[in-house]
């Protein structure tokens, strides 16, 4: 008889963003959460210090930035380097995984940025109904 689930490389199909209990769903929600996505986008341009990120991501509060950074660090997307000096200096940068995620986010942002006129028109049409 033929062997069932015999050889072949790793399944890969065990993860599913649609599944509530899957880690990928949680990570997906982290990554797409309001401030984390913009933080990843900012870090895609290179390492940033806390204050630099705060200025780059318009509108984020210190609290939310710190919280977002903790979450991204926990998921292994961002690494934190504390110089241990006074005054303090902490640099944040993307990990390899973080860079791959940020790349996807960048693609998304590019599509949206170039579609602004189209979106504005669609909204006008919709709101006029």
Partner DNA sequence: CGGTATCCACCAAGATACTG
Partner DNA sequence: CAGTATCTTGGTGGATACCG
Binding region for a copy of itself (CB under 8 A): 12, 14-20, 22-24, 27-29, 31-34, 37-38, 41-42, 56-59, 73-76, 97, 100-101, 104-105, 107-109, 111-116, 118-123, 125-127
**Cβ at position 91, least distance to a copy of itself in Å:** 18
8-state DSSP, 43: H
Within 8 A by CB and 6+ apart from 102, the residues are: 40, 41, 43, 44, 94
- Biggest CA pair distance of the chain: 70
CA distance 73 to 7: 36
Dihedral sign for Cα 66, 68, 74, 77, please.
negative
Q: Which of DNA, a copy of itself, none is residue 104 near (CB under 5 to 8 Å by kind)?
A: a copy of itself
When the beta carbons of 8 and 87 are compared against a copy of itself, the nearer one is 8
Phi first, then psi, for residue 80 (nearest 5°) are -115, 130
Nearer Cβ to DNA (81/110): 81
The residues of the shown chain that bind DNA, judged by CB under 7 A, are: 33-35, 49-52, 59-64, 66, 69-70, 80, 82, 86-90, 92
């Amino acid at each position: 008889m033929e062997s069932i689930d015999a050889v072949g490389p790793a399944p890969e199909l065990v993860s599913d963003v649609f599944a509530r209990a899957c880690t990928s769903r949680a990570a997906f929600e982290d990554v797409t959460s309001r401030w984390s996505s913009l933080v990843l986008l900012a870090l895609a341009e290179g390492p940033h210090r806390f204050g630099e990120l705060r200025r780059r991501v318009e509108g984020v509060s210190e609290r939310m930035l710190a919280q977002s950074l903790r979450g991204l660090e926990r998921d292994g997307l961002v690494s934190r380097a504390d110089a241990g000096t006074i005054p303090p200096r902490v640099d944040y940068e993307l990990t390899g995984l973080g860079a791959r995620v940020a790349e996807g986010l960048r693609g998304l942002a590019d599509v949206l940025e170039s579609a602004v006129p189209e979106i504005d028109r669609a909204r006008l049409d919709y709101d006029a109904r």
